[in-house]
Amino acid sequence: MPKALYPGSFDPITYGHLDIIERAEKIFDDLMVGIVENPRKETLLSFNERKELVKKSLEGENIQVSSVITFSGLLVNCAKQHNRESIVRGLRANSDFEYEFQMALTNRDLAPEIESVFLMTAGEYSFLSSSIVKEVKELGGDVSSFVPGVVERKLARKFSSAD
């Protein structure tokens, strides 16, 4: 199977992302996770914090990918640079579809040789997003069923301003 890139903000990584990675890893021989720095999107966690949490979460869940990289700029340029033939994205609801559809068609225009591949969310994670996790944690809720312990502890430090 072609080599694939799974890009995202991962601010922070959740069990929804990990489920997509675990399933994509079985489909593709070589899966790379790419953490994007998007100047238009403000993140709670820095580039390095997000990368560290992705790596630690993958380790903790025993999921092996070929590498975890960070990138900025056009997604298709990153995919080309790393010889990726596919871009993997996860789909939750209608709201994801509109955006992903637009992105996929734009990316196909920019790089017709790269195929976008969509994996449907697992039912149990269909409501789960990084934003919801941050909101719940900031308000003192339990997010242990949404994110690995290492992520939960990092968020706790962030919101207590110890980090």
- Under DSSP, is residue 61 helix (H, G, I), strand (E, B) or coil? helix
**Catalytic residue from among 23, 80, 92, 158:** 92
Could you say which of 130, 134, 137, 154 is catalytic? 130
Min separation Cβ 9 and ligand ADP, Å: 4
Separation between Cα atoms, residue 71 and residue 142, nearest integer Å? 31
**Which residue, 14 or 57, is less far from ligand ADP as judged by CB?**
14
CB distance 154 to 163 below 8 Å: yes
92 counts as catalytic = yes
DSSP 22: H
Q: How far is the CB of 92 from ligand ADP (least distance, A)?
A: 5
Please tell me the distance from the alpha carbon of residue 67 to that of residue 64, in angstroms, as a whole number: 9
Partnered with residue 115 across adjacent β-strands are 86
Minimum CB distance to ligand ADP, residue 95 (Å): 9
Judged by CB under 6 A, the chain residues 102 through 121 that form the site for ligand ADP are: 121
Helix (H, G, I), strand (E, B) or coil at 55: helix
Residue nearest to ligand ADP (CB): 16
- What is the enclosing helix (H) or strand (E) of 94? helix 94-110
Closer residue to ligand ADP, CB minimum distance, 66 or 129: 129
Q: For binding to ligand ADP (CB under 6 A), which residues are involved?
A: 8-10, 14, 16-17, 20, 89-90, 92, 96, 121, 125, 128-130
